[in-house]
């Protein structure tokens, strides 16, 4: 009886500890989200959501059209956005996981004239909360049992610069999914996985396709690592390996077919290496961090590339942990042998992240030519630098374990000190994110004038569309993304448009050019033209009637339904110059 009582007491103590840490994680996560985001951002009603640009606008514009469009198959297709090719929620980064149920709610509870509610703020807040929750789960699997050390570990995982860097790209804020995949590896390594845990791990990569394909591949790499490692340790036979990989592939193929992923992602940019990982990136502070402000650093980038996508600064606290964990390298052979599969996968992921264009700061060390077929295959995931996240999270898990094991008497205080340093370093980034979440993007167009014009027409035709060059940028004021200010107004009013900023370009630019010259006499269409001599000459040569055109915010606008004489004389003069100075 004494033995039974002792066992029950130990089980009760373990349960109490588990419940306490779970509550600590949730409380920390809620506080983390509250400190990072303005409440009006989370509700989708604040100034931030009045209008946006770039990736933040892309997702909402796609959602506005998807919510009001009829139900179609594939489920995520959008007919009114990016016509005649059609758009897709997967390509507009509108978070299909939320978009589908949100469309059901919109169809049942809202009038078609109402703007669809914005769920992105709630999603981002949930991601920040779950970052703490899944960090706690991983730490429990790693047996970081001391409460203070556990909380310090949660703080380190939450206050990573790579988390704050992704504000504005809502789907990529779901980095807690990587933590979940890592937890699966750790639990399998230590105790094996139950049937339920295996189901969860194998369902993770395909289901994450409904969040973001990059995260799906990252989670897929870690789940594959778990499967292969369990086979290596003879806990799985070949049949078990085959069943698990087959189930992942089957679920993924079904989701991709039903969602329209195959038809949506038929093209690539052929620019693998442009958005890669710079070898100095993990060690150079982001300019927005405290260390970056003190040191005056800039992002290490090869000139002419967009290596900010591979931004991977670890933070001051993690850098300290790297130093503290150096003595653990004495056991590197044993650790390498034990985690050989994980190490091999992490090396492969890092090689892909760095790409064939290897850079150290502003210097391109070498550029390895790739066969066209391999280049285009790799370009399906052109933002290769993001894949460093897998290695970053695995590294931090290893560092926490190494410090906890090496400095058993002082580990608690060392981890707390590292957490404080990490929070202090990232605090300016967090404050910046909170400020941005409460602010509207500055407008560069006359929103009232564009609203009146768009309301007076049934649809919009833009030449050239975003994918074919766009109406802004280069020798027209503003960047190419300035167009999204107009697209936002059109999306709010559910006016079909041929132009879209999507993750993959599918526009037939030759057909668009023909349409621009052929259908200029159609009523109900607001036509927008790029205000350059080249476009003006093309249109003038093909008999476009500029008497029905005006000039607004550096765009030539034409309509058979609205008298554009109300535009100022100076604007009308610009149209005249556009038409006859050729």
Residue 574 has pLDDT above 60, yes or no: no
Report for 180-194, 268-282, 497-511, 562-576: range of highest mean pLDDT: 180-194
Q: What is the mean pLDDT of residues 455-476?
A: 94
Q: Please give the C-alpha separations between residue 193 and each of 139, 141, 144, 190, 361, in angstroms, as whole numbers.
A: 17, 12, 19, 9, 42
| pLDDT computed for residue 566 by the predictor | 65
| Band (517; pLDDT cuts 50, 70, 90) | confident
Rounded Cα distance, 93 and 381, in Å:
14
| pLDDT computed for residue 227 by the predictor | 98
**Ordered DSSP codes for 216-252:** HHHHHHHHHHHHHHHHHTTSS-HHHHHHHHHHHHHHH
Q: In this structure, what are the phi and psi dihedrals at residue 260, rounded to the nearest 5 degrees?
A: 85, 25
| pLDDT computed for residue 570 by the predictor | 47
Q: What torsion do the CA atoms of 42, 48, 54, 57 make, to the nearest 10 degrees?
A: 70
Residue 291 has pLDDT above 50, yes or no: yes
| Band (4; pLDDT cuts 50, 70, 90) | low
Which position has the higher pLDDT, 521 or 256? 256
Judge contact between 454 and 490, C-beta under 8 A.
Answer: yes
Judge contact between 360 and 374, C-beta under 8 A.
Answer: no
Residue 164 has pLDDT above 60, yes or no: yes
Closest CA relative to residue 467, chosen from 502, 510, 440, 436: 502
| pLDDT computed for residue 581 by the predictor | 47
| pLDDT computed for residue 569 by the predictor | 46
Cβ neighbors of 176 (< 8 A, separation 6 or more) are 127, 130, 131, 133, 134, 135
| pLDDT computed for residue 264 by the predictor | 58
Residue 15 has pLDDT above 70, yes or no: no
pLDDT, tens digit, for every residue of 417-447? 999 999 999 999 999 999 999 999 889 999 9
| pLDDT computed for residue 42 by the predictor | 98
Structure tokens at 255: 């989701």
Q: What is the mean pLDDT of residues 166-188?
A: 98
Judge contact between 407 and 152, C-beta under 8 A.
Answer: no
Q: Residue for token digits 């996985």?
A: 193
Domain boundaries, the chain: 2-36+123-174+267-437, 175-265, 447-580
| pLDDT computed for residue 537 by the predictor | 87
| pLDDT computed for residue 546 by the predictor | 79
Q: What is the mean pLDDT of residues 384-392?
A: 98
**Ordered DSSP codes for 83-116:** TTT-EETTTTT--HHHHHHHHHHHHHHS-TTSPP
């Amino acid at each position: 009886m004494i033995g039974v009582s002792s066992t029950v007491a130990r089980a009760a103590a373990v349960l109490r500890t588990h419940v306490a840490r779970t509550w600590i994680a949730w409380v920390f996560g809620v506080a983390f989200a509250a400190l990072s985001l303005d409440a009006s951002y989370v509700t989708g009603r604040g100034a931030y959501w009045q209008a946006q640009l770039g990736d933040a606008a892309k997702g909402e514009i796609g959602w506005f059209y998807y919510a009001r469009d009829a139900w179609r198959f594939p489920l995520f297709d959008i007919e009114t956005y990016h016509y005649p090719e059609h758009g897709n929620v997967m390509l507009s980064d509108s978070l299909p996981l939320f978009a589908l149920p949100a469309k059901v709610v919109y169809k049942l509870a809202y009038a078609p004239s109402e703007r669809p509610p914005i769920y992105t703020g709630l999603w981002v807040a949930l991601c920040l909360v779950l970052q703490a929750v899944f960090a706690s789960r991983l730490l429990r699997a790693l047996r970081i049992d001391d409460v203070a050390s556990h909380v310090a570990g949660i703080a380190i995982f939450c206050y990573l610069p790579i988390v704050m860097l992704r504000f504005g790209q809502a789907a990529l804020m779901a980095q807690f999914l990587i933590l979940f995949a890592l937890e699966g590896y750790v639990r399998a390594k230590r105790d094996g996985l139950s049937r339920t845990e295996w189901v969860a791990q194998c369902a993770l990569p395909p289901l994450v396709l409904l969040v973001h394909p990059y995260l799906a591949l990252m989670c897929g790499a870690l789940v594959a690592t778990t499967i292969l490692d369990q086979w290596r340790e003879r806990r799985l036979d070949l049949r078990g390996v085959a069943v698990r990989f087959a189930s992942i592939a089957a679920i993924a193929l079904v989701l991709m077919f039903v969602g329209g992923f195959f038809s949506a992602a038929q093209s690539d940019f052929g620019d693998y290496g442009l958005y890669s990982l710079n070898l100095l990136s993990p060690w150079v502070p982001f300019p927005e961090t405290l260390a970056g402000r003190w040191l005056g650093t800039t992002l290490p980038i090869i000139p002419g590339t967009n290596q900010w996508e591979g931004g991977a600064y670890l933070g001051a606290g993690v850098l300290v942990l790297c130093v503290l964990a150096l003595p653990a390298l004495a056991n590197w052979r044993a650790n390498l042998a034990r985690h050989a599969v994980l190490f091999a996968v992490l090396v492969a992921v890092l090689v892909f992240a760095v790409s064939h264009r290897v850079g150290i700061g502003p210097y391109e060390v070498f550029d390895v030519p790739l066969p066209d077929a391999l280049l285009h295959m790799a370009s399906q995931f052109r933002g290769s630098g993001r894949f460093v996240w897998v290695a970053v999270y695995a590294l931090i898990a290893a560092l926490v374990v190494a410090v906890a094991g090496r400095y058993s008497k002082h580990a608690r205080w060392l981890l707390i000190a590292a957490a404080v340093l990490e929070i202090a370093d990232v605090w300016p980034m967090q404050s910046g994110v909170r400020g941005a979440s409460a602010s509207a993007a500055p407008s560069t167009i006359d929103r009232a004038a564009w609203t009146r014009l768009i309301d007076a027409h049934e649809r919009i035709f833009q030449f050239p569309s975003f994918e074919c060059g766009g109406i802004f940028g280069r020798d027209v004021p503003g960047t190419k993304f300035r167009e999204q200010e107009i697209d936002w107004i059109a999306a709010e009013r559910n006016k079909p448009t041929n132009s879209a900023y999507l993750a993959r370009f599918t526009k037939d630019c030759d057909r668009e050019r023909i349409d621009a010259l052929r259908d200029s006499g159609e009523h109900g269409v607001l036509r927008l033209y790029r205000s350059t001599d080249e476009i003006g000459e093309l249109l003038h040569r093909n008999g476009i009637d500029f008497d029905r055109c005006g000039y607004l915010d550096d765009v030539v606008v034409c309509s058979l339904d609205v008298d554009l004489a109300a535009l100022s004389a100076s604007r009308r003069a610009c149209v005249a110059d556009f038409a006859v100075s050729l």
